Amino acid sequence: MELRQLHYFIKVAQKQHVTQASEELHVAQSAVSRQIHQLEQELGVSLFVQKGRNLQLTPVGKLFLDRVENIFTDLERAVREVREFLDPELGEVRIGFPHSMGISLLPTVVAQFRKEHPGVKFRLRQGTYSSLLRDVISGEIDLSFVSPFPESHDQVTGELLLTEELYAVVPVNHPLAEREEIRLDELSGDPFVMFSDAYSLRSIVLDGCRAAGFVPQIGFEGEETDTIRGLVAAGLGVGLLPEMALTEISPLEPAKIRISEPKVTRTIGLVRRKEEKLTPVAELFRSFLMNYFKLG
C-alpha cells in the first residue's frame, strides 16, 4: 500500500468521480482507476459503488476514508513540525479563544507578536470553554486562551495570565446608570440578560449574584458578549460583563458601573496539552505571551 494510492483514494472520494479526480491530480484517468483497483485488491473489499455517473463510498469505504484522512492529517502535521524546527519564524500557531477575548485581547497580542515575527501565521478557532479544552486535548489546536483558568486538570497545563473585573451594565435610562459604583444586590429586582449554559461567564455571574444574596431573574439569554451588551442597551434587562468586552464602541451602548460588593472577577489563562512539547513556533508565541503579561 502506497501513499500515492491513498492520496488518489481521498481525491476520488471527495470528487465522487474518477475523471474529475484525475484532472485535479493532473494524472491520467487510467492511472487513478488502476491505483484504486490495486488498493481494493490489497484490502479485499470494494471501496466504491457506481451510482449513476458518480462513484459512491461503500460503508467500509467511509470507514477507511476516516482513517486515511487522519493519517494524512498526522503526516501534514509532521511535515509542518519539521519545517518549523528548521525555521520557527515561518511556522503556524493554532490558537483557540472565547468570543470575549476576540474583541481586543487576541487581536492586540497577535499584532504585537507579528511586529517581531512577521513570517509566523495564525490559525484561529473560537469556542466555548469546554470545546476549547477539548480541542487542546485532541491536538486540534496548540494553545488556547480560556476563562476560568483550570488550576488543576488531568490533561492540560498552562499559566494564569490575569484576573479581570466584571462590571454591571444597565440601560442608559436605568435609575442607577449615573452611579460610578454600586453593590450587586442593588440589581436584584431587575431581569438579567444572561449567557447560555455553554458559557463559563454564566456561572461566574450566577456565583456573584448568590454571593450578593440573591438568585437573578433571567429575562433573556445570549450567546456572545456583544449580544448581552446590545440587549441591555436596548432596555431588556441588566447584566455583568468583563471589562475587555466593553472596550469597543458601538451605536447602542449600555452604562458601565463598577461593582463594589462583592467583587466579581474571572481568571484568564493560557493552556496547552500536558506532558507534550509545543512546536517551536507555538513555544515562541507562548514565551512572547509570558513576557507580554510579565510572567516570564
Same domain, 92 and 112: yes
pLDDT score of 72: 87
Q: pLDDT truncated to tens, each residue of the chain (296 aa)?
A: 788 888 888 988 888 888 888 888 898 989 988 988 888 888 898 998 888 888 888 999 899 988 988 888 888 888 877 877 778 888 889 999 998 898 889 999 999 999 999 999 999 999 999 999 999 999 999 999 999 999 889 999 999 999 999 999 999 999 999 999 999 999 999 999 999 888 889 999 999 999 999 999 999 998 888 899 999 999 999 999 998 888 777 778 999 999 999 999 999 999 999 988 898 899 999 999 999 998 64
Same domain, 148 and 242: no
pLDDT score of 185: 97
| Cα–Cα dist 188/140, whole Å | 42
Same domain, 257 and 174: yes
Same domain, 157 and 121: yes
Cβ-contact 9, 47 below 8 angstroms: yes
Residue 184 sits in a domain whose CATH number is 3.40.190.290
pTM: 0.69
List Cβ neighbours of 2 (8 Å cut-off, separation of 6 or more). none
User: Number of structural domains, the chain?
Assistant: 3
| Residue 277 domain boundaries | 88-161+268-292
| End-of-domain residue from the set 64, 86, 108 | 86
Residue 147 sits in a domain whose CATH number is 3.40.190.10
Helix (H) or strand (E) run with residue 17 in it: none
Same domain, 221 and 177: yes
Same domain, 98 and 144: yes
- ∠ CA 239-245-249, rounded to 5°: 100
Same domain, 157 and 280: yes
pLDDT score of 151: 85
pLDDT score of 52: 85
Same domain, 280 and 153: yes
Same domain, 77 and 93: no
Same domain, 107 and 76: no
